[in-house]
């Protein structure tokens, strides 16, 4: 692939597909060169997944940490802002978030802080976890990890705390960024018009509490039936444009008027500011 603008990135015949055999009909078309969006994630200070936690990799499976960490494993470190962030446009930052998130497509749904955390067989396990143990991340840790790795912005990663944020740490330690709350658009058709790439859309459970969060892909999403796309980590799948069940974990999913992402939507948080 060349580094030209409008590079078409075809998803991902499974760069990290834990769910063998699934091929997504969805893709993303960026307006910035791939190298510009993710080059430092491939080769650079952010590229080594063993350096994504607050403790050295050699301690990730240290038995002495079991009581302290539980099934969550090590916490993610707080990254600094990527080089040149201050000179980048808001749209670059939005696409950078989605490009970063796509690198984890295929990771399973797990209650972990760091996607690469793979606990040994004797490690404590969440009794409510339904997916097989392995690498992976849950919904709010996924959105928190992606914003952190992409932009050095570290949101709260508990779902309730994340949904109520008015500010987040970053870019980089020692700084704060305002988080804007948006109420839901008035209709299903208005969602693609009012939401922006990288927005966080929160979803309620049947009990009425916020229990899930997704990344809004927005206008850069490519769907064979024109359906808007979201990107999240979830323990249960929906059907794609081909009628195939989408596996659990990190995947692109359609934003349908019949799915809970719409019918039980709560509100939107915008971390990346509007265009000046």
CA pair distance 95, 101, nearest whole angstrom: 10
Residue 276 has pLDDT above 80, yes or no: no
Q: How far apart are the first and last CA of the chain?
A: 32
Please give the helix or strand (H or E) that residue 148 lies within, else none.
helix 139-151
What b/e string do you get for 117-144 counting C-beta neighbours within 10 Å, with b at 16 or more?
Answer: bbbeeebeeeeebebebebbbbbbbbbb
Domain residue spans of the chain = 8-270
The pLDDT score that the predictor gives to residue 74 is: 96
Note the pLDDT tens digit of each residue in 44-101. 889 999 999 999 999 999 989 988 899 899 999 999 999 999 999 999 999 999 999 9
Residue 7 has pLDDT above 50, yes or no: no
Region 8-270: CATH code: 3.90.1720.10
The pLDDT score that the predictor gives to residue 275 is: 66
Note the pLDDT tens digit of each residue in 128-187. 777 788 899 999 999 999 999 999 999 999 999 999 999 999 999 999 999 999 999 999
Map tokens 């038995």 to a residue: 63
User: Do you find a cis peptide bond into 40, omega within 30 degrees of 0?
Assistant: no
At residue 16 the predicted structure's pLDDT band, cuts being 50, 70 and 90, is very low
């Amino acid at each position: 692939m060349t580094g030209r603008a409008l590079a078409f990135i075809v998803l991902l015949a499974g760069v990290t597909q834990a769910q063998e055999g699934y091929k997504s009909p969805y893709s993303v078309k960026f307006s910035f060169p791939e190298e510009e969006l993710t080059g430092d994630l491939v080769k650079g200070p952010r590229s080594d997944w063993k350096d994504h936690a607050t403790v050295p990799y050699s301690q990730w499976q240290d038995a002495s940490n079991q009581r302290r960490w539980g099934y969550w494993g090590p916490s993610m470190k707080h990254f600094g802002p990527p080089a040149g962030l201050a000179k980048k446009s808001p749209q670059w930052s939005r696409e950078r978030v989605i490009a970063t998130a796509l690198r984890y497509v295929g990771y399973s749904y797990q209650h972990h802080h760091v996607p690469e955390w793979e606990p040994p067989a004797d490690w404590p396990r969440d009794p409510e976890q339904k997916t097989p143990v392995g690498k992976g991340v849950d919904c709010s840790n996924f959105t928190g990890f992606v914003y952190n790795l992409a932009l050095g912005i570290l949101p709260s990663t508990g779902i309730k705390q994340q949904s109520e944020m008015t500010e987040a740490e970053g870019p980089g330690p020692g700084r704060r960024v305002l988080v804007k709350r948006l109420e839901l658009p008035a209709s299903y058709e208005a969602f693609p018009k009012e939401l922006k790439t990288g927005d966080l859309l929160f979803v309620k459970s049947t009990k009425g509490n916020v229990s899930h969060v997704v990344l809004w892909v927005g206008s850069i999403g490519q769907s064979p039936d024109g359906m808007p796309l979201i990107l999240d980590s979830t323990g249960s799948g929906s059907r794609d444009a081909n009628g195939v069940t989408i596996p659990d974990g990190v995947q692109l999913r359609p934003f349908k008027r019949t799915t809970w992402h719409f019918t039980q939507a709560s509100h939107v948080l915008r971390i990346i500011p509007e265009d000046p």
